[in-house]
Amino acid sequence: MTIAFDNSYARLPERFFVRQPPVAVAEPGLVAVNRGLAERLGLDPEALASPDWIAVFAGNRVPEGAAPLAQAYAGHQFGGWVPQLGDGRALLLGEIVAPDGARFDLQLKGSGPTPFSRRGDGRAGLGPVLREYIVSEAMAALGVPTTRALAAVTTGEAVWRETPIPGAVLARVAASHIRVGTFQYFAARGDTDALGLLVGHVIARHYPGAEGPLGLLSAVTAAQARLIARWMSLGFIHGVMNTDNMAVSGETIDYGPCAFLDAYHPAKVFSSIDQFGRYAYGNQPQIALWNLAQLASCLLPLMGEEGPAIEAATEAINRFADHYQAEWLRLFRAKIGLATEAEGDAPLVASLLSRMAEGRADFTRTFRGLAERTAAAEFADPGPFAGWEAEWRARLAGEADPVAVMRAANPVYIPRNHRVEEAIRAATAGDFGPFHRLNAVLARPFERRPEAEGYDAAPLPGEAVTRTFCGT
Ligand code: AMP
Ligand code: MG
């Protein structure tokens, strides 16, 4: 099988990237090919599982038509400015145009050092690769815009972290890998020509209706507001919302220390490196807006006279709050079974959430439990929930089919940390069964099924994972 790559990013000027082939590995071994995604891209899943394509995913063969390159970008990491990051362990192989005309990047992550690697080894461990595979595919099944996992392979080489772990490579698919940090890279260098080209490229690729830099800023603002509202509605914590990890396409990208809430609390943090809670669950909308402000400031030099440009850009990103609130309320209305709109709906949801925080209620199980009449059992003290329930039942009175609305909005199965860790532990010991089973369960998250028994459970006290780590 050959892929008809059409590499639009590689046609941008040379200062956007560094061309380089992947670094071959000792012994490529297939972990998984994502059949559904392969078909969506118009690729033959059988061919992708053949030795020829396993070699491609491992970086041992560059397919015809690919133009491998490491993308340049900068970024704010935990608020601190880093003028040059770039793909230090990833390579864009090329772009695939699906049968419906949609364009996708195909990227290898863990494919060896590049000029952007700084002190890193350019490699990825099996654990982080499986984690990204599981969680990104779960997010896709939950209806969240996200990068996807097309394949995972082992390398037959060890990667040294604190101890030696098996090495792996993820073949990642994305609408693009262009980040807020890509704009920052050129803005920091005063390269207005490159910024103009990048604006044109991103508009053509992601927002064909947008007009100029201001139109682009408005479109990215709206897309991010919708994305973050989705995360919030599922209890998802990204964990490392640096500007280099925010894709301008509006897809979730870079699943490092991400996690789903078990017990609900707005201040919840999992990431071991997020010492001050900058990327806590409840801070995510604010951080997204902060990142958009960085994007806005990059675009100013393209927007004419400074005073009016600042005013227009500020106005554009200030619409984030309205977009976010509207989407948040739309999603949470459905989560509590409402298909109609009434004045007191937002406070009704807020009141449930504050009782959940107090009662340490499991986020996913409580919302699903509303439809299955098991929500009260999620609260340490069911009293406050009973009070809310009475109010809620009164509001449900005129609703046609609230149970159906709730079942469609509240998943049974999410990639809970303890399950992800269990799958990684088994795979590291050579058993990929739990990894495949978990993926199969998460592929249909809204459908309770007997064969998935136990996967809806919250972690037992001894099972809870309280710390997650970066992809490295
Ligand atoms: P991430 O935390 O994966 O978003 O990566 C942040 C930056 O560190 C990017 O520039 C990556 O390319 C780089 N990086 C992360 N891990 C490695 C690694 N193992 N080797 C080289 N560069 C890395
Ligand atoms: Mg990153």
Based on the domain organization, do 41 and 153 belong to the same domain?
Answer: yes
Cβ of 85 below 6 Å from ligand 1: yes
Q: What is the pLDDT of residues 406-428, one digit of tens each?
A: 999 999 999 999 999 999 999 99
Give the SS3 label for residue 146: strand
Based on the domain organization, do 16 and 159 belong to the same domain?
Answer: yes
Q: What is the pLDDT of residues 42-78, one digit of tens each?
A: 999 999 999 999 999 999 999 999 999 999 999 999 9
Evaluate whether residue 427 is within a structural domain.
no
Based on the domain organization, do 284 and 300 belong to the same domain?
Answer: yes
The rounded Å distance from CA 138 to ligand 2 centre is 19
For residue 469, CA distances in Å to 16, 87, 172, 393 come to 30, 19, 20, 41
Buried b (16+ CB within 10 A) or exposed e, 141-157: bbebbbbbbbbbbbbee
What's the DSSP call for residue 149?
E
Q: CA–CA separation, 461 vs 457, rounded Å?
A: 12
What's the pLDDT at 60?
98
What residue type is assigned to position 201 of the chain?
A: H
What's the pLDDT at 471?
58
The shares of helix, strand and coil residues in the chain, as percent rounded to the nearest 5, are: 45, 15, 40
Query: Of all atoms in ligand 1, which is nearest to the CA of residue 124?
Result: 19
Evaluate whether residue 453 is within a structural domain.
no
Evaluate whether residue 339 is within a structural domain.
no
The rounded Å distance from CA 79 to ligand 1 centre is 17
Evaluate whether residue 397 is within a structural domain.
no
191 is catalytic: no
Based on the domain organization, do 264 and 153 belong to the same domain?
Answer: no
Best residue among 179, 182, 258, 472 to mutate for probing ligand 1, ranked by most atoms within 8 Å of CB: 472
Q: Residue 233 — pLDDT band, cuts 50, 70, 90?
A: very high
The rounded Å distance from CA 396 to ligand 2 centre is 43
Range(s) of the domain holding residue 162: 9-177
Q: Which one from 52, 105, 191, 244 is the annotated catalytic residue?
A: 244
Query: Of all atoms in ligand 1, which is nearest to the CA of residue 77?
Result: 6
Evaluate whether residue 430 is within a structural domain.
no
For residue 2, CA distances in Å to 54, 217, 396 come to 14, 37, 55
DSSP secondary structure string, 182-246?
A: HHHHHHHTT-HHHHHHHHHHHHHHH-TT--HHHHHHHHHHHHHHHHHHHHHHHTEE-S---GGG-
Q: What is the mean pLDDT of the chain?
A: 97
The rounded Å distance from CA 123 to ligand 1 centre is 9
Evaluate whether residue 410 is within a structural domain.
no
Evaluate whether residue 291 is within a structural domain.
yes
DSSP secondary structure string, 445-467?
A: TTS--GGGTTTTPPPPTTT----
Based on the domain organization, do 304 and 269 belong to the same domain?
Answer: yes
Based on the domain organization, do 254 and 145 belong to the same domain?
Answer: no
Backbone φ, ψ for residue 471 (5° rounding): -55, -30
Pairing of strands 148-160, 29-33: antiparallel
Evaluate whether residue 266 is within a structural domain.
yes
Q: Give the pLDDT mean for 94-103.
A: 98
Q: CA–CA separation, 352 vs 430, rounded Å?
A: 43
Based on the domain organization, do 145 and 206 belong to the same domain?
Answer: no
Based on the domain organization, do 188 and 328 belong to the same domain?
Answer: yes
Based on the domain organization, do 314 and 241 belong to the same domain?
Answer: yes
Cβ of 84 below 6 Å from ligand 1: no
Pairing of strands 236-237, 29-33: unpaired
- CA 85 to chain CA centroid, nearest Å: 19
Q: CA–CA separation, 68 vs 21, rounded Å?
A: 6
Based on the domain organization, do 209 and 146 belong to the same domain?
Answer: no
pLDDT at residue 287 tops 70: yes
What percentage of residues in the chain have a pLDDT greater than 70? Answer: 99
Cβ of 117 below 6 Å from ligand 1: yes
State how many domains the chain has.
Answer: 2
Both tokens of 341, joined, read 């709109």
Q: What is the pLDDT of residues 110-154, one digit of tens each?
A: 999 999 998 899 999 999 999 999 999 999 999 999 999 999 999
Q: Give the pLDDT mean for 317-323.
A: 98
Q: CA–CA separation, 85 vs 194, rounded Å?
A: 17
Based on the domain organization, do 104 and 151 belong to the same domain?
Answer: yes
Beta bridge partners of 109: 90, 170
**Of 317, 333, 349, the domain-final residue:** 333
Query: Of all atoms in ligand 1, which is nearest to the CA of residue 87?
Result: 12
* Closest by CA position to 375, among listed 384, 387, 385: 385
CB 381 within 8 A of CB 313: no
**Of 121, 142, 177, the domain-final residue:** 177
Best residue among 85, 114, 240 to mutate for probing ligand 1, ranked by most atoms within 8 Å of CB: 85
Query: Which residue, by CA, sits nearest to atom 13 of ligand 1?
Result: 88
Cβ of 86 below 6 Å from ligand 1: yes
The rounded Å distance from CA 279 to ligand 2 centre is 15
Query: Which residue, by CA, sits nearest to atom 10 of ligand 1?
Result: 85
Based on the domain organization, do 19 and 33 belong to the same domain?
Answer: yes
Largest alpha-carbon pair distance within the chain?
Answer: 65
The rounded Å distance from CA 241 to ligand 1 centre is 14
pLDDT at residue 404 tops 70: yes
Q: What is the pLDDT of residues 242-273, one digit of tens each?
A: 999 999 999 999 999 999 999 999 999 999 89
pLDDT at residue 187 tops 80: yes
Cβ of 116 below 6 Å from ligand 1: yes
